[in-house]
Amino acid sequence: MSNLNQYAPLRFITAGSVDDGKSTLIGRLLYDSKALLSDQLLSLNKSKNNGEVIDFSILTDGLEAEREQGITIDVAYRYFSTAKRKFIIADTPGHEQYTRNMVTGASTANAAVVLIDATQLDFSRPEVELLPQTKRHSAILKHLRCPHVIVAVNKMDLLNFDESKFNAITRAYDKLAQQLGLKAVLFVPVSALQGDNIVHKSERTPWYRGEPLLAILESLPTDDEQSEKAEDFHFPVQFVLRLDQDKADDFRGYQGRIEAGEIRVGAKIRIEPNGLESRVTEIYSPNGLVQSAKVGEQVTIRLADDIDISRGDTFVAANSTTISSKQLTATVCWFDQRPLNPARKYLLKQGTQTVFAKVSEVEQILDLKTLLNSREADQVKMNDIAQVRISLQKPITATTYAQNKAAGAFILIDEATYHTVAGGMILEN
């Protein structure tokens, strides 16, 4: 593994069902890796039940309602580092009602730790049945193309670290992963409360040959698969900068973030959706003029021609195959309590573009019980994962989510309430 990957910050989330121990695991991870400040250690000591058991969840459950109800509601972000790398943790809710918050946390994650509470499963059956929210979160991770999934089988101490029960759970999740198409799945038997296999290898699992959770996280690569090819250049215009409109040589620059590819001074570009072409004359970075810029950089671009360009337009390479379209096929995760209404207009926001949209067809909905796509379901309800066809009032410039996460993702907004009702990934345009 290269030094770049070894020391690059890792963004990871915890996912799973209610009471699987996500907040406790993160608290234990911070505590055992000595990543807590003195005031946090003092709060932990005050949280001891009967003077012995520490409530590690208080480190992430920051909302008063979370502490009162004993559940995670919002996404809690925590930062810590070891000698090998830096980490950004997103503790996401397990409750079905807050699935939308889990999607938010997972959308930028390099890895996911899926917790499974081993005590909630029925081992009397020939095959262990995983909980619905475990399946839902795993399906979302697949659609969001999360590169690495680590399954932490929690509360093994309450099962006397029974290897056969751990193996039964791994077989059940392996089957789920195969049905969903999840790859790069690793399994770790843990006790978040007791600290087994979190930072240090547990002596109570001599049958487990793998590394503890922290060692696995430290070794994961963080390749974002972002294209730096010039022909994949994708630059949504965020702001048109005018310094002095009264002069004949007034400055006109186009500001934004490069979402794919690379751009150089002198390169020919095409402006979508109008299809006009021009040439790059200057590129400004936060440090001044530069000759080139690549994916992830914030820049201001000047063009040779005076063209009517506004926020929401997109610069692509002149020879790019990217086109603007008024029709999309996409996967959506529905967040709103009200079901999807095909007769209703929504606002679709993708990058810097916002347009009116209608869901013209619901092609299929994922059945979490069978993990098959149903074409007979008549409604997309809260937390459903569906494949839909979307018609737009005017064309947008986008790629598929598989090609580029930033350019292929969008949200749907209720035009009346401005609530975000769905998150989506473009499959085809």
pLDDT along the chain (429 residues), means of 10: 58 84 84 68 60 61 41 62 89 66 82 94 92 89 92 96 97 94 93 93 96 95 68 93 68 93 96 95 95 95 94 94 92 92 92 94 85 77 91 93 90 92 91
The average confidence (pLDDT) of the chain is: 85
Which CA distances in Å does 426 have to 274, 308, 383, 387? 21, 28, 18, 10
Model confidence pLDDT, tens digit, residues 268-296: 999 999 999 999 999 999 999 999 999 99
Cα separation, 127 vs 279, in Å, equals 62
CA atoms within 13 A on the CB side of 307: 24
E strands, 203-352, are 234-236, 239-242, 252-257, 262-264, 268-272, 276-285, 288-290, 292-294, 298-303, 314-317, 324-334, 346-350
Both tokens of 258, joined, read 């490069």
- Token look-up 């505590």 returns 31
Residue 299 β-bridge partners:
256
The pTM of the full predicted model, rounded to 2 decimals, is 0.82
What are the CB-based long-range contacts (under 8 Å, 24+) for 197-200? Answer: 198/25, 198/28, 198/29, 198/32, 199/28, 199/29, 199/32, 199/33, 200/32
Cα separation, 148 vs 407, in Å, equals 21
